[in-house]
Amino acid sequence: MSTQEQYLITEEPFYKEVSNEVVLYKAAYQRRLPVMLKGPTGCGKTRFVEYMAWKLQKPLITVACNEDMTASDLVGRFLLDKDGTRWQDGPLTVATRLGAICYLDEVVEARQDTTVVIHPLTDHRRVLPLDKKGELVQAHPDFQLVISYNPGYQSLMKDIKQSTKQRFTALDFNYPDEATETNIVAKESELDIEQSAKLVQIAHRARNLKGHGLDEGISTRLLVYAGQLIQAGIEPIEAGKMALVRPLTDDPDIRATLNNAVEMIFG
């Protein structure tokens, strides 16, 4: 298998369009503009990139960012082996050479000194300097950079610099409307529509608590988990508590409120 094939998505990922994001993304890709996907966790950002990579038939290289990540983790490093030192490209460099869509997931997690290595790739230069190796990699014509960003986690300590932000176009993501989300849950968990709709109702109650003791509402991802637990034979109330309440908060009052909603809706 070639490197190119290794990163191609061969089967169509299930993705339900929520707004006009497909057309907008395609236009951005056509001009190879960098794209930032903004939105809460578990609302479909990653699934969307997978879907677009499949649709465009371009390889996709995903990097889950974290605070321990260094620039070398992205661009590459020298390794020692029996013959001496050998350079190994990091995922960003592989994507740059190969012409892949490089998706940096949860980029706020990375330290700002790590994030700046993407700058020269985002403007007209489209280059990646490998300082340690003394090489300037010219991006393949198909290369595109995509990052995801959760505005909810914004804090003064942890935010992307304006100088980074302003190198991207952006798409807003949010939880889908009720009917769409019900369909997604039904499809992803193979639960019937009626029960899926109930799960979505619970999420709507919880999302109203955002800012009133909850940092973030119940994600579509958690709804899918709850559906899968019910499909695995767990009582809906128990499944709701396991997938929709406990992961979200340890605050006893909010838990009680959410447990109540689960019991009312499935009772």
Ligand X SMILES: Nc1ncnc2c1ncn2[C@@H]1O[C@H](COP(=O)(O)OP(=O)(O)O)[C@@H](O)[C@H]1O
Q: What HEC string does 64-80 produce?
A: ECCCCCCHHHHHEEEEE
Residues 6+ apart with CB under 8 A from 37: 45, 48, 49, 146, 147, 148, 149, 170, 171, 173
What is the DSSP annotation of 184-208? HHHHHH---HHHHHHHHHHHHHHHT
Residue 263: Cβ within 10 Å count: 13
41 touches ligand X by CB under 6 A: yes
Task: Choose, by CB under 6 A, the member of 34, 176, 217, 236 that binds ligand X.
Answer: 176
Least Å distance, CB 176 to Mg ion, is 15
Which is closer to ligand X, CB of 44 or CB of 76? Answer: 44
Bridge-based pairing of strands 169-172 and 35-38 is parallel
**Residue 58 and residue 99 in contact, taking contact as beta carbons nearer than 8 Å:** yes
Which is closer to ligand X, CB of 71 or CB of 171? Answer: 171
Least Å distance, CB 221 to ligand X, is 4
Q: CA 66, CA 52: separation in Å to the nearest integer? A: 24
Least Å distance, CB 236 to Mg ion, is 27
String marking each residue 41-80 x if it binds Mg ion according to CB under 5 A: -----x----------------------------------
Q: What is the largest CA-CA distance in the chain?
A: 67
Which is closer to ligand X, CB of 137 or CB of 197? Answer: 197
219 touches Mg ion by CB under 5 A: no
47 touches ligand X by CB under 6 A: yes
Least Å distance, CB 226 to ligand X, is 12
164 touches Mg ion by CB under 5 A: no
Secondary structure (3-state) at 103 = strand
205 touches ligand X by CB under 6 A: no
184 touches ligand X by CB under 6 A: yes
Which is closer to ligand X, CB of 89 or CB of 106? Answer: 106
**Residue 222 and residue 244 in contact, taking contact as beta carbons nearer than 8 Å:** yes
188 touches ligand X by CB under 6 A: yes
257 touches Mg ion by CB under 5 A: no
Bridge-based pairing of strands 101-105 and 144-149 is parallel
Place of tokens 């993705």: 15
Secondary structure (3-state) at 138 = strand
168 touches ligand X by CB under 6 A: no
Token pair for 197: 């709709």
183 touches ligand X by CB under 6 A: no
221 touches ligand X by CB under 6 A: yes
220 touches ligand X by CB under 6 A: yes
176 binds, among ligand X, Mg ion, none (CB under 5 to 8 A by kind): ligand X
CA atoms within 13 A on the CB side of 77: 9
Contacts to ligand X by CB under 6 A: 14-16, 18, 39, 41-47, 176, 184, 188, 220-221, 224
